[in-house]
Structure 1
Amino acid sequence: MPRRTPRNALDRVRTSHRLFGFLKTASVCVLTAALLSPLGQAPAAAAGAAAAPDYCGGRCSDILPPGENGNATLAQILLNQAFGTQPAHAEDQLGPYAGLATGYPALTDAKINTFFDDASFGVPADQVASTEKPAGRGDVTIVRDKKTGVPHITGTTRYGTEFGAGYAAGEDRLWLMDVFRHVGRGQLTSFAGGAAANQGLEQQFYRNAPYTEADLQAQIDNAVAKNGARGQQALADVKAYLDGINAYIDASDSGRYFPGEYDLTGHKDVITNAGTIEHFKVTDLVALASVIGSLFGSGGGGEVDNALSLMAAQAKYGVEEGTRVWEAFRERNDPEAVLTVHGGESFPYGAKPADARGAALPDAGSVVQEPLVHDRTGTGATASAKSMSATAGRTSLGSARRGMSNALVVSGKSTASGHPIAVFGPQTGYFAPQLLMLQEIQGPGISARGASFAGLSMYVELGRGQDYSWSATTSGQDIIDTYAVELCQDDYHYLYRGTCTAMEKIEQKNAWKPTTADGTAAGSYTMRAWRTKYGPVAYRATVGGTKVAYTTLRSSYLHEADSIIGFQMLNDPDYVKGPQDFQSAAQHINYTFNWFYADSQHTAYYNSGDNPVRADGVDAEFPVWARPAYEWRNWDPAGNTADYTPASAHPNSVDQDYYVSWNNKQAKDYTTASWGDGSVHRGNLLDDRVRRLVAAGGVTRAQLVQAMADAALADLRAEDVLPDLLKVIDSSAVSDPTAAAAVAKLKAWSSAGGRRTETSAGSKAYANADAVRILDGWWPLLVRAEFEPGLGSDLYTAITHNLPVDEAPSAGHGPTGSHAGSAFQYGWWSYVDKDIRAVLGENVRGGLGRTYCGGGSLTACRDTLIDTLKQAAGLTAAQVYPGDDQCSAGDQWCADSIVQRTLGGIKHGRIGWQNRPTFQQVVEYTSHR
Structure 2
Amino acid sequence: MPWRTPRNALDRLRTPRRFPKFLKAAAICTLVGGLLSPLTQAAAATTATNDYCGGQCSDILPPGENGNATLADILLHQVFGTQPAHAEDQLGPYANLAKGYSSLTDAKINDFFNDASFGVPSDQVASTEKPAGRNDVTIVRDKKTGVPHITGTTRYGTEFGAGYAAAEDRLWLMDVFRHVGRGELTSFAGGAAANQGLEQEFWRNAPYTEAELQAQIDRAVAGAGARGQQALADVNAYLAGVNAYIDASDSGLYFPGEYDLTGHKDPITNAGTIEHFKVTDMVALSSVIGALFGSGGGGEVNNALSLLAAQSKYGVEEGTKVWESFRERNDPEAVLTIHNGESFPYVPKPASAQGEALPDAGSVTREQLVYDRTGSAATASAADTSATAATTALTSAKRGMSNALVVSGKHTASGHPIAVFGPQTGYFAPQLLMLQEIQGPGISARGASFAGLSMYVELGRGQDYSWSATSSGQDIIDTYAVELCQDDYHYLYHGTCTAMDKVERTNSWKKTLADSTPDGSYTMRVWRTKYGPVEYRATVGGKKVAYTTLRSSYLHETDSIIGFQMLNDPDYVKGPQDFQSAVQHINYTFNWFYADSQHTAYYNSGDNPVRASGVDAEFPVWAQAAYEWKNWDPAANTADYTPSSAHPNSIDQDYYVSWNNKIAKDYAAGSWGEGSVHRGDLLEDRVQKLVAAGGVTRASLTKAMADAALADLRAEDVLPKLLKVINSSPVTDSTAAAAVDKLSAWLSAGAKRTETSAGSKTYADADAIRVLDAWWPLLVKAEFEPGLGTGLYTALTANLPVDESPSAGHGPTGGHAGSAFQYGWWSYVDKDMRAVLGETVQGPLARTYCGGGSLASCRDMLITTLKGAAGKTASQVYPGDDQCSAGDQWCADAIVQRPLGGIKHGKISWQNRPTFQQVVEYTSHR
Q: TM-score range by the shorter chain?
A: over 0.9
User: Which residue is 1:835 aligned to?
Assistant: 832
**Is the Cα–Cα contact under 8 Å of residues 400 and 674 in structure 1 kept in the other structure?**
no
- Structure 1 runs of 4+ with >6 Å offset: 31-34, 382-386
1:64–1:617 Cα change, 3 Å: same
Could you report, residue by residue, the CA deviation over 1:60-105 in whole angstroms, capped at 9, with x for unpaired residues? 0000000000000001001111111100000000000000000000
In 2, Cα distance between the equivalents of 1:819 and 1:374?
A: 32
1:270 pairs with 2:267: yes
* Secondary structure in structure 1 of the residue aligned to 2:110: helix
1:184–1:671 Cα change, 3 Å: same
User: Which residue is 2:4 aligned to?
Assistant: none
1:105–1:399 Cα change, 3 Å: closer
In 2, Cα distance between the equivalents of 1:42 and 1:492?
A: 58
User: Which residue is 1:855 aligned to?
Assistant: 852
Shift of the alpha carbon at 1:271? 1.0
Structure 2 residue corresponding to 1:774, chosen from 771, 779, 784: 771
In 1, Cα distance between the equivalents of 2:514 and 2:382?
A: 32
* Secondary structure in structure 2 of the residue aligned to 1:279: coil
In 2, Cα distance between the equivalents of 1:166 and 1:61?
A: 24
User: Which residue is 1:596 aligned to?
Assistant: 593
Shift of the alpha carbon at 1:782? 0.2
Structure 2 residue corresponding to 1:885, chosen from 873, 879, 882: 882
Shift of the alpha carbon at 1:51? 2.0
User: Between the two proteins, what is the percent identity of the paired residues?
Assistant: 84
Shift of the alpha carbon at 1:40? 3.6
User: Which residue is 1:10 aligned to?
Assistant: none
User: Which residue is 1:641 aligned to?
Assistant: 638
The correspondence of residues 530-929 of structure 1 with structure 2, limited to 5 A, is 530-730=527-727, 733-929=730-926
Could you report, residue by residue, the CA deviation over 1:424-452 in whole angstroms, capped at 9, with x for unpaired residues? 00000000000000000000000000000
In 2, Cα distance between the equivalents of 1:910 and 1:776?
A: 21
Structure 1 residue corresponding to 2:293, chosen from 271, 293, 296: 296
1:380–1:191 Cα change, 3 Å: closer
The correspondence of residues 362-511 of structure 1 with structure 2, limited to 5 A, is 362-381=359-378, 401-511=398-508
User: Which residue is 2:21 aligned to?
Assistant: 28
Shift of the alpha carbon at 1:624? 0.3
Shift of the alpha carbon at 1:402? 1.3
Shift of the alpha carbon at 1:30? 4.2
User: Which residue is 1:391 aligned to?
Assistant: none
1:541–1:925 Cα change, 3 Å: same
1:189 pairs with 2:186: yes
**Is the Cα–Cα contact under 8 Å of residues 292 and 396 in structure 2 kept in the other structure?**
no
Structure 2 residue corresponding to 1:107, chosen from 85, 104, 107: 104
Shift of the alpha carbon at 1:672? 2.9
* Secondary structure in structure 2 of the residue aligned to 1:820: coil
1:120 pairs with 2:117: yes
User: Which residue is 1:221 aligned to?
Assistant: 218
In 1, Cα distance between the equivalents of 2:152 and 2:501?
A: 46
In 1, Cα distance between the equivalents of 2:841 and 2:800?
A: 21
Q: In structure 1, what residue type is equivalent to 2:770? A: R
In 2, Cα distance between the equivalents of 1:38 and 1:84?
A: 18
1:845–1:779 Cα change, 3 Å: same
In 1, Cα distance between the equivalents of 2:554 and 2:184?
A: 19
In 2, Cα distance between the equivalents of 1:528 and 1:80?
A: 39
Gaps of 5+ in 2: 1-18, 29-33, 384-391
In 1, Cα distance between the equivalents of 2:515 and 2:40?
A: 37
User: Which residue is 1:7 aligned to?
Assistant: none
Could you report, residue by residue, the CA deviation over 1:198-233 in whole angstroms, capped at 9, with x for unpaired residues? 000000001100000001000000000000000000
Shift of the alpha carbon at 1:29? 5.4
1:252 pairs with 2:245: no
Q: In structure 2, what residue type is equivalent to 1:475? A: S
1:448–1:416 Cα change, 3 Å: same
**Is the Cα–Cα contact under 8 Å of residues 302 and 673 in structure 1 kept in the other structure?**
no
Could you report, residue by residue, the CA deviation over 1:777-832 in whole angstroms, capped at 9, with x for unpaired residues? 00000000000000000000000000000000000111010000000000000000
Q: TM-score, normalised by structure 2?
A: 0.95
Shift of the alpha carbon at 1:403? 1.2
Shift of the alpha carbon at 1:518? 5.0
In 1, Cα distance between the equivalents of 2:416 and 2:45?
A: 32
Q: In structure 1, what residue type is equivalent to 2:707? A: D
In 2, Cα distance between the equivalents of 1:39 and 1:927?
A: 39
In 1, Cα distance between the equivalents of 2:825 and 2:23?
A: 52
In 1, Cα distance between the equivalents of 2:396 and 2:628?
A: 21
**Is the Cα–Cα contact under 8 Å of residues 35 and 172 in structure 2 kept in the other structure?**
no
Shift of the alpha carbon at 1:281? 0.3
1:52–1:379 Cα change, 3 Å: farther
Structure 2 residue corresponding to 1:324, chosen from 321, 324, 336: 321
Shift of the alpha carbon at 1:382? 7.7
1:166–1:839 Cα change, 3 Å: same
Gaps of 5+ in 1: 1-25, 387-394
* Secondary structure in structure 2 of the residue aligned to 1:506: strand
**Is the Cα–Cα contact under 8 Å of residues 302 and 400 in structure 1 kept in the other structure?**
no
In 2, Cα distance between the equivalents of 1:481 and 1:28?
A: 57
**Is the Cα–Cα contact under 8 Å of residues 808 and 823 in structure 1 kept in the other structure?**
yes
In 1, Cα distance between the equivalents of 2:191 and 2:255?
A: 23
Q: How many residues align?
A: 892
**Is the Cα–Cα contact under 8 Å of residues 166 and 245 in structure 1 kept in the other structure?**
yes
Could you report, residue by residue, the CA deviation over 1:120-145 in whole angstroms, capped at 9, with x for unpaired residues? 00000000000000000000000000
* Secondary structure in structure 1 of the residue aligned to 2:135: coil
**Is the Cα–Cα contact under 8 Å of residues 184 and 206 in structure 1 kept in the other structure?**
yes
In 2, Cα distance between the equivalents of 1:914 and 1:370?
A: 38
In 1, Cα distance between the equivalents of 2:505 and 2:669?
A: 33
Q: In structure 1, what residue type is equivalent to 2:844? A: G
Shift of the alpha carbon at 1:861? 0.3
Q: TM-score, normalised by structure 1?
A: 0.94
User: Which residue is 2:8 aligned to?
Assistant: none
Q: In structure 2, what residue type is equivalent to 1:716? A: L
In 2, Cα distance between the equivalents of 1:704 and 1:95?
A: 21
Shift of the alpha carbon at 1:921? 0.0
User: Which residue is 2:238 aligned to?
Assistant: 241
**Is the Cα–Cα contact under 8 Å of residues 35 and 169 in structure 2 kept in the other structure?**
no
Shift of the alpha carbon at 1:853? 0.3
1:651–1:322 Cα change, 3 Å: same
Could you report, residue by residue, the CA deviation over 1:754-798 in whole angstroms, capped at 9, with x for unpaired residues? 000000000000000000000000000000000000000000000
CA RMSD of aligned residues (A): 1.7
* Secondary structure in structure 1 of the residue aligned to 2:232: helix
In 2, Cα distance between the equivalents of 1:701 and 1:203?
A: 43
Q: In structure 2, what residue type is equivalent to 1:508? A: R
Shift of the alpha carbon at 1:423? 0.0
Shift of the alpha carbon at 1:378? 1.1
Shift of the alpha carbon at 1:850? 1.4
* Secondary structure in structure 1 of the residue aligned to 2:771: helix
**Is the Cα–Cα contact under 8 Å of residues 54 and 923 in structure 2 kept in the other structure?**
yes
In 2, Cα distance between the equivalents of 1:56 and 1:276?
A: 45
**Is the Cα–Cα contact under 8 Å of residues 169 and 454 in structure 1 kept in the other structure?**
yes
1:524 pairs with 2:521: yes
1:707–1:373 Cα change, 3 Å: same
